[in-house]
Amino acid sequence: MADTIRIQMMDHFLIYIDEKKTDHLAAKSKKGAALVQYLILNEGEPVPNQKLLSALWDEEKSINPENALKTLVSRLRVLLNQIDPILGACVVSDRGAYHWQCPEGMTIDLY
């Protein structure tokens, strides 16, 4: 039987697998957690790279912002795969954009 995955967005960002709290992501990558939250809030809709760069690196200057985003996404997928391989597949790349694809049975608490 597949794991039950629930993502809590409000108050604290938490991921639960079969109602067991996992806080790997928020503890290891604040920017990665912010990216997941941003993509979830725009679920199903591709978010252009430029919009993600503005949201995640607004005040910071990066020499190669596109590469910084690709690196963040790559590291994020590794962290999500460590929590559950299903989560790693939720971050989907589009042409010049990314989106969150929620698998069947995953719930997201937005309120």
Question: Which pLDDT value is given to residue 70?
Answer: 93
Question: Which pLDDT value is given to residue 13?
Answer: 79
Question: Which pLDDT value is given to residue 98?
Answer: 96
pTM for the model stands at 0.81
CATH number at residue 68: 1.10.10.10
Q: What is the pLDDT of residues 37-47, one digit of tens each?
A: 899 888 779 99
Question: Which pLDDT value is given to residue 9?
Answer: 78
Domain total for the chain?
1
How far CA 44 is from CA of 25, 61, 79, in Å, comes to 21, 29, 21
How far CA 99 is from CA of 14, 38, 40, 69, 94, in Å, comes to 19, 9, 8, 13, 7
- What domain range is 66 assigned to? 5-109
Residues in the chain: 111
Question: Which pLDDT value is given to residue 14?
Answer: 78
Task: List the chain residues with pLDDT less than 70.
Answer: 1-3, 23-27, 59-60, 111
Question: Which pLDDT value is given to residue 59?
Answer: 67
Question: Which pLDDT value is given to residue 1?
Answer: 38
